Structure 1
Amino acid sequence: MMAFQKRSFVGKGKVYLGRFQQNNLQRIGNTSKLSLTIDDESKELADYENPGGGIADAITRIKEVKVSLTLHNLNAANLAIALFGNASSIASGTITAESHTAYKGALIRLDKIGASAVVVSNSGATITYVAGSDYQVSGAGILIPDGSSIADATTIKVSYAFGLQNMVEAITATGEEYTLAFDGLNEADSAKPCAVDLWRVRFSPLKSLDLIDDDFSKIELEGKLLKDESRPMGTSSYFRYGFI
Structure 2
Amino acid sequence: MPVDVIKQIYKPTMTVGQVYARAYGTLAQPMPVGNVLELSVEHSEDVQTQEDMTTLGGGTHAEVRRVKEVKMKAKLADLNVVNLARSVLGTVEAIGAGAATDEPFVATLGGLLPLTHISPTAVAVKKGATAGAATPVPMAGNYEVRPEGVFVLADAKDITESDKLWISYSYGAYAAIEALTTKAVELQLIFGGLNEADNGKPVVVDIFRASQGVTKALTLVGKGFNSLDVEGTVLMDPTKTGAGISKYYRTRMS
Q: How does 1:121-136 map to 2 (within 5 A)?
A: 121-122=126-127, 123-125=130-132, 126-136=134-144
Deviations 1:166-210 (A, max 9, x none): 221111112321111101111122212221111111122111111
Q: Does 1:18 align with 2:22?
A: yes
Q: How does 1:19-34 map to 2 (within 5 A)?
A: 19-24=23-28, 25-34=30-39
Whether contact under 8 Å (2:102, 2:131) holds in the other structure is no
Q: Does 1:221 align with 2:230?
A: yes
Q: Specify the code of the residue in structure 2 equivalent to 1:16.
A: Y
Whether contact under 8 Å (1:129, 1:135) holds in the other structure is no
In the other structure, the counterpart of 1:43 is: 48
Whether contact under 8 Å (2:113, 2:151) holds in the other structure is yes
Structure 2: stretches of 5+ with no match in the other structure: none
Q: Using the TM superposition, name which of 189-198 and 111-120 deviates more.
A: 189-198
- How big is the shift at 1:152? 2.6
TM-score by length of 1: 0.93
In the other structure, the counterpart of 1:242 is: 252
Q: Using the TM superposition, name which of 132-141 and 112-121 deviates more.
A: 132-141
Distance in 1, matches of 2:177 and 2:166, equals 26
- How big is the shift at 1:88? 3.1
Distance in 1, matches of 2:112 and 2:195, equals 51
Q: How does 1:80-159 map to 2 (within 5 A)?
A: 80-122=85-127, 123-125=130-132, 126-148=134-156, 149-159=158-168
Distance in 1, matches of 2:239 and 2:140, equals 62
- How big is the shift at 1:150? 2.4
**Which of 182, 206, 213 matches 1:204?**
213
Change (3 A) 1:163 1:118: same
The number of residue pairs the alignment matches comes to 244
Q: Using the TM superposition, name which of 211-220 and 146-155 deviates more.
A: 146-155
Q: Does 1:5 align with 2:8?
A: yes
CA-based RMSD: 1.7
Distance in 2, matches of 1:185 and 1:88, equals 36
Whether contact under 8 Å (1:19, 1:178) holds in the other structure is yes
Identity of aligned residues (%): 29
Whether contact under 8 Å (2:184, 2:214) holds in the other structure is no
Distance in 2, matches of 1:224 and 1:11, equals 22
